[in-house]
C-alpha cells in the first residue's frame, strides 16, 4: 500500500510539473538544455561538464547554431521547441528537438518601508511576496501587516493592496503574488495610514527603482 501511495504521489507531482512547464513562458536569464538527435554537437546536457546550457540574454534572444538568433522571451517551451525545429529543418531532415529548462533566471525586486533590511534583492523567478519579505529579513514590530503595497514596474499607475495578516492567519495565498522584474514592495507602519508618510514614499520608491534599472 505504501508503495502504491508513493507511486501515485510521484505521478501527481510529475503531472503537475508537466502542466507547469507547458504554461511557463520563457524569460531572460532562463537556461535551456537543447537536444537534437541528428546533431549531437548542438546538444547540451545539464550533467555535461564540457557543454553549457543555452541562456536567454537580457534582450530576450538566444543564439543557437544553425538556427540562428531566436526571440524566446514570452514563448512557451513547446513554442520554442517548434521554432528551433522549424529553423533547423532547412539543414536537417525532420529534426528531432527536445528542450528542457535547466535553470530559471532571476528577477530584481525592491523592498522598502517597515522592513528589517530594505533594499534591492535578486529572487528566483516564481518567488512571491512572502519570499521577498523573507529575503529582506522579515517585517519589524512596527509593520502594518493589514496593508502592504505592491507596484509592478510595468504599471506604476496601479498600486496593489495586500493583507498580509489575512494570509498568515487563514493560509489563503490568493494575494501572495509572484514578484516580477522591477517590482516594488512597500510595507507601511502600524496605525492610521497617512499620505505623506505611507503613500508618497511609494512613488519615490518607484522613481528610485526606475533610475536604478535605467543605469544598469
Distant-in-sequence, close-in-space partners of 73: CB < 8 Å, separation ≥ 6: 25, 26, 27, 28, 56, 60, 61
Among 35-49, 55-69, 143-157, name the most confident range.
55-69
CATH topology of domain 106-214: Outer membrane lipoprotein wza fold like (3.10.560)
Superfamily of domain 25-103: wza like domain (3.30.1950.10)
> Is the separation of the CB atoms in 99 and 33 below 8 Å?
yes
Q: Which residue carries 529579513 as its cell?
A: 137
pLDDT confidence of 82, banded at 50, 70, 90? Answer: very high
Q: What is the pLDDT of residues 85-144, one digit of tens each?
A: 999 999 999 999 999 988 888 888 999 888 899 888 888 878 899 999 999 998 888 787
Domain boundaries defined on the chain: 25-103, 106-214
* pLDDT at position 13: 35
Amino acid at each position: 500500500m505504501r508503495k502504491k501511495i508513493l507511486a501515485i504521489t510521484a505521478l501527481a507531482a510529475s503531472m503537475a510539473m508537466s502542466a507547469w512547464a507547458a504554461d511557463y513562458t520563457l524569460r531572460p536569464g532562463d537556461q535551456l538544455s537543447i537536444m537534437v538527435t541528428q546533431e549531437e554537437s548542438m546538444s547540451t546536457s545539464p550533467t555535461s561538464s564540457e557543454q553549457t546550457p543555452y541562456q536567454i540574454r537580457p534582450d530576450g534572444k538566444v543564439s543557437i547554431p544553425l538556427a540562428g538568433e531566436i526571440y524566446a522571451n514570452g514563448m512557451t517551451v513547446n513554442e520554442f521547441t517548434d521554432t528551433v525545429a522549424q529553423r533547423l529543418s532547412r539543414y536537417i531532415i525532420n529534426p528531432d528537438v527536445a528542450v528542457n529548462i535547466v535553470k530559471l533566471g532571476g528577477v530584481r525586486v525592491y523592498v522598502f518601508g517597515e522592513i528589517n533590511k530594505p533594499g534591492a534583492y535578486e529572487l528566483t523567478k516564481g518567488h512571491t511576496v512572502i519570499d521577498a519579505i523573507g529575503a529582506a529579513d522579515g517585517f519589524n514590530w512596527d509593520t502594518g501587516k493589514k496593508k502592504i503595497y505592491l507596484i509592478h514596474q510595468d504599471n506604476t499607475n496601479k498600486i496593489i493592496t495586500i493583507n498580509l495578516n489575512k494570509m498568515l492567519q487563514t493560509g489563503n495565498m490568493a494575494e501572495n503574488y509572484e514578484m516580477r522584474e522591477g517590482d516594488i514592495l512597500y510595507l507601511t507602519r502600524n496605525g492610521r495610514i497617512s499620505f505623506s508618510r505611507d503613500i508618497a514614499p511609494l512613488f519615490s520608491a518607484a522613481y528610485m527603482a526606475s533610475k536604478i534599472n535605467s543605469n544598469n
